[in-house]
Chains A and B, each alone.
Chain A
Amino acid sequence: MRLVEAIRSAFSAIMANALRSLLTMLGIVIGVAAVIAMVAIGSGARNLVDSQIRSLGANLAIVTPGNVTQGGARLGAGAASSLTDEDARAIRREIDGVVAAAPFVQGGAQVVAGGNNWGTRIYGIDLDWFSAREWDVATGRTFDPEEVRRGDIVILLGQTVARNLFGEDDPIDQIVRVRNVPFRVIGVMAPKGQSAFGQDQDDVVFVPLDTGRRRVIGRNYAKDGSVGSIFVKFANESDIVPGIESMTELLRQRHRIIGEQEDDFSIRNLTEIANTATASANTLSMLLAAVAAVSLLVGGIGIMNIMLVSVTERTREIGLRLAVGARPRDILSQFLIEATTLSTIGGALGIALGAGAAYLVAQLAGWPSLVSTNAILMAVGFSALVGIFFGFYPAQRAAKLDPIEALRRE
């Protein structure tokens, strides 16, 4: 019997007991759905982590100001800026494996160009920023060392800002005003897209660090060369943990913190945050894999069970088929195909359900998910295998029936 016809007749046998077939498939449906969701969420999480690393820059730690105690009152983290340019320079100089230490200040600002204006984030940065964040200009140029040293009144626009202020026009060498200070645009940054948390990273402008401190952001920065935070980039991932230890030591010394006193800064390993996300995604994946394995097993047993029932119910049909000339292997393949069709339909339903679940997780948890072709092929293959494996015993029982006995059965 040809395969297409065998599958068609398997379909009609399955449809003859639609509800029973559906219930039988349920194990496979859930198993495959779990596989699909697992792979989708797993690869989504990996992509998320990748894009976090990519948009922040790899092998990065960030030093932020900690809480400060003033006259017995403990102020919250970041309440006062305890970090300075000098700290950044010291880190760059003294910590092994550091390739860039980028101090920066940030604030909000209204940027005006001609008749247009746009509210955005403004960062005061030095040259290390570009290598730490792995971020360059798309057009124009970045700051030169002299501009940074002198605190020139020049500005780099993010893509979003450039578009909103200038539309299709070239903003290079145009003048924009921030707090009434006329800045000359020297470049437009390359697009970064959304951050992992949905922020538009291109909605930003950059000015030299000193310019930002003195003219735009806050007065308290201006006094002592203090900065908001410092991005520290390491050459290798393995440098980060020892690097953070020695940075802590260095900054405690520089800030004259001794003994039991609390740090007035904190250092976070951004790669580690990414790794934590990967780890929790992996845990979720393992859980789903376990659910999938158990479900496929249970589903397979369900299929074996229903196929045994079916063989018993259709003993006379088997006898008749044998009488009109079916060979035992024709009967074997008929029931194998039936079991496999059953499990594959279950697999298809499972793919739909799994993709739906992955989509829902993506929507509700904001966790990007990705249903890959590979996962779908794998799921179809797996469910077909389950059908063949668990369908074999019932099919073999059918094929071994004695035609005389089978025809006589009521």
Chain B
Amino acid sequence: MALIETRDLSRVYDLDAGRVVALDSVSLDIDQGDFVAVMGPSGSGKSTFMNLIGCLDRPTGGQYRLAGTAVESLDADGLARLRNREIGFVFQQFNLLPRVDALGNVELPMVYAGFDRRTRRERALQALGRVGLADRAHHRPMQLSGGQQQRVAIARALVNSPSLLLADEPTGALDSRTANEIMALFQELNREGATIVLVTHDAEVGRHAQRLVRFRDGRVIEDRRQTPVDARDLAPEAAE
């Protein structure tokens, strides 16, 4: 069964300068356990697509089902709930809370899910262990390297066991070696069953995915399966 189903999904902006069709009738299915790279130049509609499937925005036309839920009919609270339960976001700029330690950052989605303190602590530690940062639980973002910060962000994305990991240029702020480590982590999570949608303009990054969807002018112009490049081959030390 497809985790993500979009039918004629459209997003039109009515700006002072006129109508802008950011996304034009996109119909796309993404299966559970897939690793999809969404690519395209800026203005191609890939970010709009990501915002829509991430339930951050609502379409102006078409339908979108995420894990069986018809997203286009939800109100703001319903969207928030869906983001909380079904989606884990990873951003280019990490977006960690600077005053809170790694553990607290990872706990954040569970705060809004209404878990008690102890459960939160337990699961957050688990998630941090999963990304190899169990020993950094009480470091603040400032005390961590870029790669470590992005791992904390990934732990935060994982902690509510979402059905979809949504990464927006997750390696954009990292050097190539660290970027490789992060991609290796994504591939590992994918092997364990995580569905990942990764938005990037970087062809090198896109090569790590199993499926490549290319956007231009709000439409899908290419959609193919590929043999992913194993990030471990490029950075063997990152695999431990």
Q: A residues touching B (Cβ–Cβ < 8 Å)?
A: 1, 5, 12-13, 16, 316-317, 319-330, 403-404, 407
- Rounded to whole angstroms, the CA-CA distance of A410 and B184 in the bound complex is 29
Pick from B54, B76, B100: contact of A327, CB under 8 Å = B76
Q: Counting CB contacts under 8 A, is B99 at the interface?
A: yes
What is the minimal beta-carbon distance from A398 to any residue of chain B, in angstroms? 14
- Rounded to whole angstroms, the CA-CA distance of A144 and B20 in the bound complex is 109
- Rounded to whole angstroms, the CA-CA distance of A329 and B80 in the bound complex is 11
Tell me whether A16 and B109 are in contact (CB under 8 A). Answer: no
Tell me whether B56 and A403 are in contact (CB under 8 A). Answer: yes
Closest residue on chain B to residue A15 by CB atoms: B99
Interface membership of chain B positions 27-56, coded 1 if the CB is closer than 8 angstroms to chain A and 0 otherwise: 000000000000000000000000100101
**A317 to chain B: which residues have CB within 8 Å?**
95, 97
Interface membership of chain B positions 77-120, coded 1 if the CB is closer than 8 angstroms to chain A and 0 otherwise: 10011011100010101010101100000001101110001000
Q: How many residues of B contact A (CB 8 A)?
A: 26
Q: Counting CB contacts under 8 A, is B156 at the interface?
A: yes
What is the minimal beta-carbon distance from B213 to any residue of chain A, in angstroms? 20
Tell me whether A407 and B91 are in contact (CB under 8 A). Answer: yes
- What are some 22 contacts across the A-B interface (CB < 8 A)? A1-B111, A1-B112, A5-B111, A13-B99, A316-B93, A317-B97, A320-B95, A321-B108, A324-B84, A324-B89, A324-B109, A324-B112, A324-B156, A325-B84, A325-B112, A325-B160, A326-B80, A327-B77, A327-B81, A328-B76, A329-B77, A407-B91
**A328 to chain B: which residues have CB within 8 Å?**
76-77, 80
Tell me whether A404 and B56 are in contact (CB under 8 A). Answer: yes
What is the minimal beta-carbon distance from A15 to any residue of chain B, in angstroms? 9
Chain B: interface secondary structure? helix
What is the minimal beta-carbon distance from B66 to any residue of chain A, in angstroms? 14
Closest residue on chain B to residue A329 by CB atoms: B77
Closest residue on chain B to residue A316 by CB atoms: B95
**B8 to chain A: which residues have CB within 8 Å?**
none
Tell me whether A325 and B97 are in contact (CB under 8 A). Answer: no
Q: Counting CB contacts under 8 A, is B57 at the interface?
A: yes
Tell me whether B109 and A325 are in contact (CB under 8 A). Answer: yes
The A-contacting residues of B in range 178-192, CB under 8 angstroms, are: none
Tell me whether A323 and B56 are in contact (CB under 8 A). Answer: yes
**A407 to chain B: which residues have CB within 8 Å?**
56, 91, 95
What is the minimal beta-carbon distance from A88 to any residue of chain B, in angstroms? 80
Pick from B56, B76, B81, B99: contact of A16, CB under 8 Å = B99
Closest residue on chain A to residue B156 by CB atoms: A324
Interface membership of chain B positions 168-203, coded 1 if the CB is closer than 8 angstroms to chain A and 0 otherwise: 000000000000000000000000000000000000
- Rounded to whole angstroms, the CA-CA distance of A328 and B111 in the bound complex is 15
- Rounded to whole angstroms, the CA-CA distance of A329 and B77 in the bound complex is 9
- Rounded to whole angstroms, the CA-CA distance of A382 and B35 in the bound complex is 56
**B76 to chain A: which residues have CB within 8 Å?**
327-328
**B85 to chain A: which residues have CB within 8 Å?**
325
What is the minimal beta-carbon distance from A310 to any residue of chain B, in angstroms? 13
**A316 to chain B: which residues have CB within 8 Å?**
93, 95
Pick from A320, A321, A404: contact of B51, CB under 8 Å = A404
What is the minimal beta-carbon distance from B154 to any residue of chain A, in angstroms? 13
Tell me whether B56 and A325 are in contact (CB under 8 A). Answer: no
**A322 to chain B: which residues have CB within 8 Å?**
56, 80, 83
Tell me whether B80 and A12 are in contact (CB under 8 A). Answer: no
- Rounded to whole angstroms, the CA-CA distance of A326 and B97 in the bound complex is 14
| Extra pairs beyond A329-B77, A404-B56 (20, CB < 8 Å) | A1-B112, A5-B111, A5-B117, A12-B99, A316-B93, A316-B95, A321-B108, A322-B56, A322-B80, A323-B83, A323-B95, A324-B109, A324-B112, A324-B156, A326-B80, A327-B77, A328-B77, A330-B112, A403-B56, A404-B57
- Rounded to whole angstroms, the CA-CA distance of A16 and B142 in the bound complex is 14
